[in-house]
Amino acid sequence: MFAEIESAYAEPTLYGITDGKAIGTYLEHKFKLHLNNLYTYTPGNSAAGIDFPGLDVDLKVTSITQPQSSCPFKSARQKIYGLGYHLLVFVYEKSDDHNLRTGRLNMKHAIFIHKDRTADYQMTRGILEILSRDGNADDLVAFFQDKVLPVDEIEARNIAEEVLQQHPNQGYLTISNALQWRLQYSRVIQKAGDIEGIDRIR
């Protein structure tokens, strides 16, 4: 398995590297080379926006010290209905061997998050509680405003009416508002293997 192989591998080019983006690029490149040796698949590109568009999967690499990453903002609905694609998340702990001058990425977690679980935890939990108490569109709009959902009043009303017709699934990401969504993975690390749609691979 890739994560086990990588955890045991000492890499000279990683020695002294602390930049998470550089480490993420290294690991993503190496994982894709690993897949190329085993499978035929459609590689991602900037137009597709995700790493494996044919599989509807985006790859995320993050450090255990602060397990988070960013992703493109497409719509405020992503916070309620999910990102629209699955996530494969590698969580690593980096260490350096100063004698050998190599770096090693101990793969602490490898987690597959089904797209139905990629919405924001607090947002979906609040919506589902409101719906369970026979809440209406006004209740939902007020909740969206309290949670500072990045929409105007008209769009908030449109989303509220949509939610009444199509209830969201409980999400398990923490999605922070920014120019890009900031995704935080502490909860999925805790819940992986215990919740349907959040699978622990390692």
**All residues at 6 or more sequence positions from 66 whose CB lies less than 8 Å from its CB, including other chains:** none
- Specify if 170 maps to a domain: no
Say whether both 111 and 188 belong to one domain: yes
Residue 53, pLDDT above cutoff 60: yes
> Is the same domain home to 109 and 44?
yes
User: How many other β-carbons are positioned within 10 Å of the β-carbon of residue 141?
Assistant: 19
User: Does some domain include residue 72?
Assistant: no
Residue of 118, 120, 121 lying closest to 57 (CA atoms): 118
Q: What is the pLDDT of residues 144-163, one digit of tens each?
A: 999 999 999 999 999 999 99
Return mean pLDDT, the chain. 92
Confidence of residue 107 (pLDDT cuts 50, 70, 90): very high
Strand partners of residue 90:
61, 110
**Residue 95: inside a domain:** yes
pLDDT at position 3, please?
86
Identify the pLDDT of residue 48.
Answer: 59
- Asked whether the predicted pLDDT for residue 47 surpasses 60, the reply is no
In which band, very low, low, confident or very high, does the pLDDT at 44 lie, cut at 50, 70 and 90? low
Task: Examine the pLDDT at 35 and tell me if it is beyond 90.
Answer: no
Q: Are residues 101 and 195 in the same domain?
A: yes
Domain count along the chain: 2
| 46: pLDDT strictly greater than 60 | no
Summarize pLDDT for 81-105 with one digit per residue, the tens: 999 999 999 999 999 999 999 999 9
Is the domain of 26 the same as that of 97? yes
Predicted local confidence at residue 45, as pLDDT = 59
Q: Which tops the pLDDT comparison, 202 or 73? A: 73
Domain assignment present for 71: no
Residue 153 and residue 92 share a domain: no
Least reliable range by pLDDT among 65-74, 133-142, 159-168: 65-74
Task: Give pTM, 2 decimals.
Answer: 0.90
49: pLDDT strictly greater than 90:
no
Flag whether 76 is in a domain: no
Q: What pLDDT does 37 receive?
A: 84
**Residue 23 confidence (pLDDT) above 90:** yes
> What separation in angstroms does the CA of 23 have from each of 28, 52, 55, 112?
9, 19, 24, 20
How far from 191 is each of 68, 140, 169, CA to CA, in Å?
16, 27, 16
- State which residues form the domain around 12: 2-66+85-118+178-200
